[in-house]
Every structure is written in structure tokens, then in C-alpha cells.
Amino acid sequence: MAVREMAPKANGEACGVCGGRTYVIERRGDQAQARICACSEHCSVCGGRGHVLVEREGEFSQKMGPRRYEVMETCTCTKLRTRIARFDALGLPASAAHANFENYRSYEEAQDRGRSVAMQFAYQYVQGGSSKGYIISGPVGTGKTHLLAATLAHLALELGVRGRYVEISLLYATIRRGFQEGKSGGEIIGPLSEVEVLAIDELGKGRGSPFEMETLDELIARRYNAGRTTLFATNYSLEPERRAMRSAAPSGYRTTDDSRSAAREAELLRERVGERIYSRLCELCTFVEFPKETPDRRRPRQEMNAPMHHAAGNGRPQGR
């Protein structure tokens, strides 16, 4: 997320809470939410009115020449509240509340490229224009959701763009619950079809049922036909074709676990979503794929914080 010029406090120092951004992002329940920082709650520009008089100069006729006049404009504090409301409407998970481009950690060159693609998209985005999205593929825990969240947060807070984040399996669950309440799938998909930028996480996840495939196809088709930008993250390979299966051990023996592992490695997004959707992804998105060896960023933290095992019977920690 772009860092704005530090907002000075009364003593000339930058606010130690928001770092000069004038807003604070927090976890509230299972979602990320933002609020105006205490240092900016009272606007010194408009005095809380939400608008300001600005003097302009224009020439309405050659005979009269340049004339100065005043117009009413929206104050920056009102724009800030609007952008915070749009951040809150994103639906970002609480786990990604503080995701930005600066704190993204990469272990592979492909991850650096993923960060660059996401940053370039966010920083060069033009509202109302036609921007090509991106899709990031990689193993779990490699920062794909982090980059989606960082992109949407920048667009909402710095540009005021209307966006949404959805995790695909949760969307399917929401639509199923809607059926029980008498709602149609279109009523739920409709708002997602209309937001300026939509991020779909976990693309390809699910059972691949006719209901799931029809829902996904309708959502992407609506956005595709309207020329709206969509971002994606997936755990499935973006390769267009399966690679040849790696040869088994010299003995030719392959365990059941070996076969299951090989099948998982060979799963392609193209096969999970079908030819029609995959073809549209090729047109709509820049492809970025992390190697399957990319380490899970969550595991080192868990392993470092793992509780120490105790020897049975004596309650003492085992040797280190």
C-alpha cells in the first residue's frame, strides 16, 4: 500500500498510531476493517462540514476576460471516509488485514515477479479504464492471498475503487444458504458482477459439481462481457497441458501414496474449471506461477512456536 506523507502532530512529529496515513486497519471478527485515526478525526480544513470553498479562475468570454469565482468541493476528510467505507466493503479476511506490498516476503524469483505484477497493476490502475487482471498459482502458504489483499487495499484506500474479495468455496456456501432463504444465485452473484475489481481466491477449489461450475461460469461470463477486471489466486497449475508422468523407481514399484501425490501434482486449473473459463482467463489475466517447491510461509512460524515435548512420566523437557 502506498504510504502517504506523514501527517504531523502538534509537536511536529508524525502520528505514532497511523504513521501518517490518517487511517488504521484492524481485525474485527473474521474481517479486516479500517477506521479514521484519532489524529485525523477533527478536520482542520473544513471544520467538520465535509466540504470547502475553493477559488478558481476561468475565462467565460473574451470580452470579460479571466474571472475569479468560488466553487464548493468535497473536503479530503469526506474522501477519506468514502475510501474507508470502500475498504470495509471489500470483505478481506482478518488474516490479511495488514497485508501490503512492503511486508510481502518472497523466497523465490517467481514470488518477486508475482509481487511486481500485483504492484504494477495496483499502482498503474486507471479507474473506469480496461485493465488486464492477473492470476497467481502456487502451493498453499506462499502469499497469494496476501497479494490479492494488498492490491485491493491499495485500490480502495488510495484510489477509492469499489472492489470485493471472495473465497470461491465460501461463495458457493453463501449461495446454497440463499436458496434456503428463497434467494436465487443471480441475486448473490449480481453485486459481484458489478464491482469494478473482483478478487477470486482459491479458484478451482470444490467438488466440481454442475452447480459450482455453472455458478463460476456465470460470474466470470458476466464480468468478461462487461469488460470488468478480475484477479485470481489458485493452488492449481496454470500449465496448459499435463506433463509426462515422472518415471517410477527402477523397480517399477509405486506405492499408493506415490500415485496420489503424482495425481495431485498433475492437477491443472484448466481441468478444474473447464476449457471455456480457462480460455477467458488467458485473455483476461497475466499468468504468474510459483514453483511447487516454494516453501509454506506459515510452517516456519508454527514450527518455531511449537510447544516443547515432555518425556513420559517425569514431566521434564527432553534434551534439545
pLDDT of 249 reads 46
**243 vs 101: CA distance, rounded Å:** 33
pLDDT of 313 reads 47
DSSP characters for 242-294? PPPPPP--TT----HHHHHHHHHHH-BHHHHH-HHHHHHHHHHEEEEE--TTP
pLDDT of 257 reads 55
pTM: 0.80
CA 17 to chain centre: 24
Give, for all 320 residues of the chain, the pLDDT tens digit: 433 333 444 444 678 899 888 999 999 999 999 999 998 888 888 877 877 777 777 776 677 767 776 777 888 888 999 999 999 999 999 999 999 999 999 989 999 999 999 999 999 999 887 789 999 999 999 999 999 999 999 999 999 999 999 999 999 999 999 988 888 888 889 999 999 999 999 999 999 999 999 999 999 999 999 999 999 999 999 998 765 444 444 445 555 555 444 444 458 999 999 999 999 999 999 999 999 999 897 765 555 455 545 444 444 444 44
User: Which contiguous run of DSSP H or E holds residue 282?
Assistant: helix 275-284
pLDDT of 1 reads 42
Measuring CA to CA, which residue among 105, 93, 90, 88 is closest to residue 202?
93
CATH architecture of 95-242+261-301: 3-Layer(aba) Sandwich (3.40)
The C-alpha cell at 260 is 496420489
pLDDT of 184 reads 83
Task: Look up cell 455453472; give the residue.
Answer: 214
**Residue 187 neighbours by CB under 8 Å, 6+ apart:** 178
pLDDT of 43 reads 87
The C-alpha cell at 214 is 455453472
The C-alpha cell at 38 is 484519532
CA 112 to chain centre: 17
221: three-class secondary structure by DSSP: helix
**Residue 47 CB coordination number (10 Å):** 11
Residue ranges covered by each domain of the chain: 1-53+66-88, 95-242+261-301
